[in-house]
Chains A and B, each alone.
Chain A
Amino acid sequence: MMSKFILITGRTAKQGEALHKGKDSDEYRQATGFVEMSRPDRERLGVEEGRHVRVRTAFGEAELELRENDLPEGMIFVPMGPMANALIGSETRGTGMPDSKGLEAEVEPL
């Protein structure tokens, strides 16, 4: 079962802290390898927190640990990093800036 969402990416304190420990460190992987959604969305998806899900956009997909957070329904958040970048396209529409927020995404349980 797939649910459609709007994907937001961004910085977090933990990601900022972890990147100094090395981008191949466990801390960094944990700090950048998750996706957050609201409780009602998670329950509709039927996946427990801590389990992995597949997030897919028109540009790629990533397997991320699912977490709950205070988000509007229909929105997911992934911290900036290599996992988020698998989901972002390189088309910049002449600005240099790829579309990094507000992308359409699908989430399915693994």
Chain B
Amino acid sequence: MRVENVVCPFCGCLCDDIVAEVEDNRITAVKEVCSSGRSFFLNARTEATRPTVDGKEVEWPEGIDAAARILTDSACPLIYGLSSTASEAQRKAVALADVLGASIDTTSSVCHGPTTIGIQNQGEPTCTLGEIKHRADLVVFWGCNPAEAHMRHFARYSVSARGKLTPQGRRDRTVVVVDVRPTASSRKADFFLQVRPGSDYEVLTALRALLKDETLEVTEVGGVSVAQLADLLERMKGCRFGVIFFGMGVTQTGGKHLNIAELLALVAELNAYTRFTAMAMRGHGNVAGADCVLTWQTGYPFAVNFARGYPQYNPGEFTAVDMLGHQEADAALIIASDPIAHFPRRAADQLRRIPTIVLDPEVNLTTQEAQVVLPTAIYGVSAAGTAYRMDNVPLPLKKVVDSPQPTDEQVLDWIIERVKT
């Protein structure tokens, strides 16, 4: 059986033109996917798995009980993850945090959290991806490598995509990559600016200064010659519609949110000359949705705490790496994420020490060390739901195959009910 218009929920591209072949409740083939998407769909499991408590298989009521008890026994529980599950489940996770007085944080905090902080300072001139496809004749990738991390981005949206004002696709665009090292993306660019690690802030500030017709008293900034910067700036001012896509290269180094604030300020200032936009390359498939859900339900997109009975926001205090690194969280509920694989060791070690519950379809490094493992259906494969693309366009995920596993939404509902009694 052929299923069309399937949405791949793996990365922030949320490609929704996937075609899946299903036989006997197994996905046997997928078309129009990149290699990560193919791997995601073809490795999806549908056999029944039971919850485990301390490594032993149990029935669902017992698993829910154990999870609820861990959470209600703890003084400072942390709910974390959420970037690879549907918004319907994310909403339940916030409800649970509210009832518990817990902290709740998403993978944004180690990804584009600094972007959010930058936006809160500076604002963000942005657009949906179709605007880029149709209008953008200058595309800058700053500190990101879509050729490896968002593999259909170029073809669907930003480089070779053919649009109304860009009918010749690649030929109608100038592509610039700014990074600390050559990458698969920089090899596809017209211009590659190699910056010294940790100097994006200076380079962005220099561009803003040049935009204000300041004279720079140096010949290079961050390893890039002022002549190259001046050239880039002229191209930016002179284009029809420009965009800077940016990623971990600027959120994870040096100034972090200060880098992003400079980038966004530059983009805002360019709008005095032409139309210019910025867009964060969101990594996981529904981390944008996690930001959206936390924001509409609490007012804040990540690093939220309910201990006082109302939402508080403080990156650096309620963010997961800090709650764990400072040994403040004394229990954790991890949903659709693998922090033991992705967190700095010190934070991962705290997860090993405290009672941990995991909701995840897969065995991963966190499930292997958790007290309670609740295996759920896979969003976009065996669980329907909603996910938000990197430009915040929401898409309906399909249930392509059946699974005996409950959804994250269902399991969180059970836990909430149990916690309330």
Q: Is A46 interfacial (CB 8 A cutoff)?
A: no
Question: With A96-B316, A100-B248 in contact, do A23 and B253 touch (Cβ < 8 Å)?
Answer: no
Please tell me the size bucket of the interface on A: 35 or more
- Please determine whether B36 and A96 come into contact, CB atoms closer than 8 angstroms: no
- Please determine whether B363 and A22 come into contact, CB atoms closer than 8 angstroms: yes
Shortest 4 CB-CB distances between A and B: which pairs? A96-B319, A90-B325, A94-B316, A16-B36
B residues in contact with A99, CB < 8 Å:
252-253
Within 8 A of A (CB), among B93-149: 105, 109-110, 113-114, 117, 145, 147-149
Q: Whose C-beta in chain A lies nearest to the C-beta of B325?
A: A90
Distance in angstroms from B340 CB to nearest chain A CB is 7
Within 8 A of B (CB), among A49-101: 59-60, 70-72, 75, 77, 80-82, 85-86, 88-101
Distance in angstroms from A88 CB to nearest chain B CB is 4
- Please determine whether A96 and B253 come into contact, CB atoms closer than 8 angstroms: no
Using a CB–CB distance below 8 Å, which chain A residues touch chain B? 6, 8, 10-13, 16-18, 20-24, 59-60, 70-72, 75, 77, 80-82, 85-86, 88-102
Distance in angstroms from B370 CB to nearest chain A CB is 14
B residues in contact with A6, CB < 8 Å:
197
- Please determine whether B346 and A89 come into contact, CB atoms closer than 8 angstroms: yes
Q: Is B341 interfacial (CB 8 A cutoff)?
A: yes
Q: Whose C-beta in chain B lies nearest to the C-beta of A72?
A: B181
A79 to B209 alpha-carbon distance, docked (Å): 35
Report how many residues on chain B are interfacial, defined by Cβ distance under 8 Å.
62
- Please determine whether A95 and B256 come into contact, CB atoms closer than 8 angstroms: yes
- Please determine whether A93 and B39 come into contact, CB atoms closer than 8 angstroms: no
B residues in contact with A20, CB < 8 Å:
36, 39-40, 43, 362
Question: With A11-B283, A77-B181, A92-B322 in contact, do A102 and B316 touch (Cβ < 8 Å)?
Answer: no
Question: With A8-B181, A59-B346 in contact, do A101 and B341 touch (Cβ < 8 Å)?
Answer: no
B residues in contact with A17, CB < 8 Å:
35-36, 38-39
Distance in angstroms from A79 CB to nearest chain B CB is 10
- Please determine whether A90 and B321 come into contact, CB atoms closer than 8 angstroms: yes
Which single member of B149, B254, B343 contacts A90 (CB below 8 Å)?
B343
Question: With A23-B341, A72-B180, A90-B343 in contact, do A95 and B316 touch (Cβ < 8 Å)?
Answer: yes
- Please determine whether B197 and A85 come into contact, CB atoms closer than 8 angstroms: no
In this complex, the member of A6, A12, A13, A22 whose beta carbon has the largest number of chain B beta carbons within 10 angstroms is A13
A residues in contact with B145, CB < 8 Å:
10-11
A92 to B316 alpha-carbon distance, docked (Å): 7
A residues in contact with B343, CB < 8 Å:
85, 90, 98
Question: With A24-B363, A88-B345, A90-B324 in contact, do A75 and B109 touch (Cβ < 8 Å)?
Answer: no
- Please determine whether B348 and A85 come into contact, CB atoms closer than 8 angstroms: yes
B residues in contact with A102, CB < 8 Å:
180, 197-198, 253-254
